[in-house]
Structure 1
Amino acid sequence: MLEASLTSREKEVLRLIVNGRTTPQISEKLFIAPSTVETHRRKLIEKLGVENATKGLIKYALENNLFKNDG
């Protein structure tokens, strides 16, 4: 899957996941509901075709140079 297919919000959520943030932490940081964070997480998993959220999403982010440790 190409990076361009991710929305800016999905990239933001992905970056925070990669930086070890929990759903409540992401929710608070982005001023969105926890259920919205979970929706973004599910869409990322679907779009990127990964089976395991944490391992698969982090691997994708690293392979596509999306990792930025400032979460």
Structure 2
Amino acid sequence: IQKQEFFVDMTCEGCSGAVTNVLKRLTGTTFEIDLPNKKVLIESDHDVEFLLTTLKKTGKEATYIGTK
């Protein structure tokens, strides 16, 4: 399983909380949130498009950076 890195426009704990809420619903997924750098590192069986769509459900701008 590869770690995928995403940019998510998070400005506060509330933003990172929203990201946490959507990602913890996914099975077989672990993640780290780097709030100061607005990055989310995800290790998952799901494909990049699915993860990006999930992150966008928070209402935040999200883009795929690449494999870590």
TM-score by length of 1: 0.32
Of Structure 1 and Structure 2, which has the larger fraction of its residues in strand? Answer: 2
TM-score by length of 2: 0.33
Of Structure 1 and Structure 2, which has the larger fraction of its residues in helix? Answer: 1
